[in-house]
Amino acid sequence: MSPLPSSSPRRATHLRPVHLRHLLATAAALALAATTLVTTSGPAQASAPSVPAGWTRVFLDDFTGAAGTGVSSARWQYTVGTSYPGGPAAFGTNEIETMTSSTTNVVQDGAGRLLITPRRSASGAWTSGRIETVRSDFQPPAGGTLRVDARIALPNVTGAAARGYWPAFWMLGAPFRGNYWNWPAVGELDVMENVHGLNTTWATVHCGVNPGGPCNETTGLGGSVTCPGVSCQAGFHVFAVEWDRSVTPERIRFSVDGLVYNTVTSNRVDAATWQAATGHGFFVILNVAMGGAMPDAFGGGVTASTVPGASMIVDYVQVLQRGATTPAPTPTPTGTAPTGTRNAYATIQAESYDGQSGTALETTSDSGGGQDVTSLSNGDWLRFRGVDFGTAPATQFLGRVASGAAAGISGLVEVRLDAVTSPPVATFAVADTGGWQSWRTVPMNMTPVTGRHDVYVTFTSGQPAAFVNLNWVTFGR
C-alpha cells in the first residue's frame, strides 16, 4: 500500500505503488479460473504468543472485545472515506471502495478475532475498512531491534471471485500524518500485501523519490513468496518485519511463518535516503482495498464475478523491541564556533541566507509578504550562519514550502550542519502542493541538535526539474 505522488502529487496523495518487478514475475499465476470460495480459516489462538526472552512488548491487540464491537479507540483510529484530508482521490491508488468505521466492515467477532470485510451494495458500491494505530512512534531503539508481527488469514476467496481483493498489513513513517505529500521519502514497510486471492505474499520497503530514485519507485525494494504449508487464504500465517539496528549495515527483514524472504540493508541506498525513510517512528495499518494499482498490474480489478463479504481475519497484532540506548544530541564541533547568531526557534526567512548555490528570489504571496527562494532543484543549497540551538536539543525541523511541480516530480528538503556535504539531520519530501504559491508548513522529526552551527538547507531530486519554493524555516523541541 504505497503512497505515491500521482498526478495529484502523491499524496498529493497516498498512492500505493505498483510492485511491477514482482508482479511480472508472478503474473502468469493469474489464471483466474473458476470461482472458488473456501471454508473459514482455522481458529484464532486463545491468546497472543508469550514474549520471547530478551524482548519487551510495547504494543498488543488480541481483539478480545465483545462480538459486534469496533476496535479500541485507545489503540486504533479509522481512516474513512476515499482519501486522506487534502490527499488524492481513491487514496492515490485508484481503489474503488469507500472506507468506513461501521461494524459492517470492521468488527470484533467475540472469539478473539478482528474481521475487515469488503461489502457491495445493491447499487454496486463497495465499502471496506482501514485502521491505523494511534501510536506512530514504533521504531527500533538505537542499537536495538523492532519486531512487528500479526497472525492473519487472508480473505478466503480465490479465482474469479477474488478479482480486485487487495488486503494489506503495513507501516508508514510518522511524518506522513498531517502532510500526505511526502511519500516515499518518509518510508513505508509493507509487511504483507496480496491480490486476487493468489497464494503469494509481497513485502517491500519504499523510500527516496518518485519516480525512480535509489529505491526504484514506484516498485520499491521488494520480494515475494508462496505462503508455507496451507495457502495464504486457507489458514492463519504470521507475517512479520524485524528492523535491526544492532548490526552494520542496518537491516529490515520480512518473513512469513519464520521464513525470511526479503532483506533490505541500509547500504542498498545512500545515507540521506535511509535516514529520511527510517529516522523516525512508524504507525501500523490494516486494510482491505478493492481494486487499484496492484490488482490492475495483475490483469485488472473488480469485475461482476467478484464476490463480496470475504474477510481478512486478524488474530493479533503486536510490537516488540529489544536493546535500547539513547542517542546523544549532535554537539557543536570543537574549535571555533560559527560566527554570527541566529535563534533556531525563531522564523528564519529563506531570503536571509548567508550563502547559496543555484537559487533565485521572487515576491511571495504567502502571509507576511516579502520574498521566497524560488525554483529550487537538485544540487541547490542555502547557508545560514551561526544558528544557535541552545543546550536543550532541537528535535523538529519545519519548512514553509510550495510547489507547482508536474506529476511525478518530487524531491527532498534536507538540513545539514557545518558543511554542505555533512549527512542530513532532517529530511522531508515535497511534490506538487497545488501551485508555486500554494504554501504549506511541513514538520519533520530530526536528529537531536544542540549548540551553534552553520545550517545548510539542501535540495535533492532524482531529476533536474525545479520541485519546490522555500519561504522560511524554523526548529522546535
DSSP string, 52-103: PTT-EEEEEE---PPTT----TTTEEE--BSS-TTS-GGGGTT---EE---T
Give the lowest-confidence range in 167-181, 195-209, 287-301: 167-181
Cβ atoms of 132 and 72 within 8 Å: the answer is no
**Phi, psi values for residue 130, rounded to 5°:** -145, 120
- pLDDT band for position 19 (cuts 50, 70, 90): very low
Cβ atoms of 235 and 153 within 8 Å: the answer is yes
pTM score above 0.75: no
Among 201, 206, 237, 240, which Cα is nearest to 320's? 240
Residues 6+ apart with CB under 8 A from 189: 170, 171, 204, 205, 241, 243, 252, 282
pLDDT-above-90 percentage for the chain: 68
Q: Please report where in the chains the cell 498529493 appears, as a residue.
A: 12
Higher pLDDT, 11 or 15: 15
Q: In the prediction, which pLDDT does 432 show?
A: 87
- pLDDT band for position 331 (cuts 50, 70, 90): low
Domain limits of the chain? 20-322, 342-476
The architecture that CATH gives domain 20-322 is Sandwich (2.60)
Ramachandran assignment for 269, one of left (phi > 0), alpha (psi -120 to 50 degrees), beta (any other): beta
- pLDDT band for position 315 (cuts 50, 70, 90): very high
- pLDDT band for position 324 (cuts 50, 70, 90): low
Cβ atoms of 242 and 146 within 8 Å: the answer is yes
Cα 128 from chain centroid (whole Å): 20
User: Rounded distance, CA 78 to CA 80, Å?
Assistant: 6
Q: pLDDT, tens digit, for every residue of 90-119?
A: 988 899 999 999 999 999 999 999 999 999
52-56, 189-193, 357-361, 416-420 — which one is most confidently predicted on average? 189-193
Instruction: Decide if 20-322 and 342-476 have a common fold.
Output: yes
C-alpha cell at 159: 479465482
**pLDDT at 232 > cutoff 70:** yes
Q: What is the mean pLDDT of the chain?
A: 87
Domain 342-476: which CATH number of 2.40.50.140, 2.60.120.260, 3.40.50.2300, 1.10.132.20:
2.60.120.260
